[in-house]
Amino acid sequence: MSNSKSLKIWVSGGSFDNTGECFIQEVDVFQKTKSDIIRFAPPNSLLVPRKGFTGACWMGKARKSDLLVCGFSALFRFSPPNWKLTGILHQPCMNDLHHVAVCDQKIYIVNTGLESIDIFDILGVYQGSFSFHPAWINKERLNGITPSRKEWVPLLEVGWQERSFSITDDPPDEEYYQSDKSNFHQKIIKDFIHLNHITILPSQILVTSLSHKCVYDVSNFNKRIEITNGYPHDGIVYNNHFWITCVDGTIIAYKIEHGIVTNKISYTKNIFEHTNNRGWCRGILIQDNYAVIGITKIYNSTQHYWAPYHQDSTKTGIICWDFNSNQELSFVDLSENESKIFSILKI
């Protein structure tokens, strides 16, 4: 590999510390260089400790259009050429936003905490939602009530019978969920479906679900991919394939036929079985013969099983995987300052 070879990307992320700091960094995966594009802390009314930027997307052409980036409780807009903050889109029902996509002058936000996809126009005016919960359950959750996982399923499967509706509060007691924040949009809450990433095609709106290990088409609420080989996170389209990451390091490509994502697998590989660089896998970009994949160091036990590796062996960084040689070509370590990464953007 030539020393002059270059492949630059932008990475969104943040810090596991209590500052709530967020960042966008430019990384050259072959030259192994990195530089800050954006360093940002949300206002106190929107700040959540240990959380940073999550999903991001361009509103138009890369580096020429506005950049939309999810925080825990708001969507932030940064504008070229200096990438200054030019807008904050917030609603009190936003909790743990994971990803954002723009299509036909509409902004689609993955509202993971509320188990919904919320849609706005480009002026920030609310248009509607795809929700996995009926309004009465969301009302209770917005008021701080948490159903138990055992109770949650029957609440959604009432069917054609009259009954009374109530939720027995079962607040999570794990350390991860404890916080001094009282507002719904700043509280770390228990989720049940854990929507992650949205991909919009002409006839499908696909959303990955970590908890259900599937890919939903929210245009009809069917499971487009019934079950994935791991807990899925990202979902992107490249070269007539739909690519997903799973948090255990598995990447999978599903064929797209006649414009429709199918469940036919054309490529699958657990990258962690072929590299010493491992972590919570999220963030993917396919470029020519390379897969650029993000991993994040595991600092605490996670809600979902992820891989049979000790968390002390994990790192935060970018893996460049070569499809031709079936091996890792490069790794850029981004582990400093308890950092974590989320999205990878083409620039």
Instruction: Name which of 42, 52, 64 is nearest 12 in CA terms.
Output: 52
Other beta carbons within 10 angstroms of residue 202's beta carbon come to 7
Give the pLDDT confidence of 98-147 residue by residue, as tens digits. 999 999 999 999 999 999 999 999 999 999 999 999 999 999 999 999 99
Give the pLDDT confidence of 291-327 residue by residue, as tens digits. 999 999 998 766 566 777 888 889 999 999 999 999 9
**144-156 mean pLDDT:** 91
Q: What is the 3-state secondary structure (H, E, C) of 31-65?
A: CCEEEEEEEECCCCCCCCCCCCCCCEEECCCCCCC
Interatomic CA distance for residues 235 and 256, integer angstroms: 13
226: which residues sit within 8 A by CB, 6+ positions away? 214, 263
Q: Considering the entire predicted model, what is its pTM?
A: 0.96
Q: Please report, for the chain, how many H helices and E strands are present, in that order.
A: 2, 24
Tell me the C-alpha to C-alpha distance, in Å, between residue 258 and each of 155, 202, 235, 265, 344. 38, 11, 18, 16, 27
Helix or strand (DSSP H, E) at 151: helix 149-156
Interatomic CA distance for residues 48 and 179, integer angstroms: 9
Report which DSSP code applies to 199.
E
| Domains recognised in the chain with CATH numbers | 8-156+166-346 (2.120.10.30)
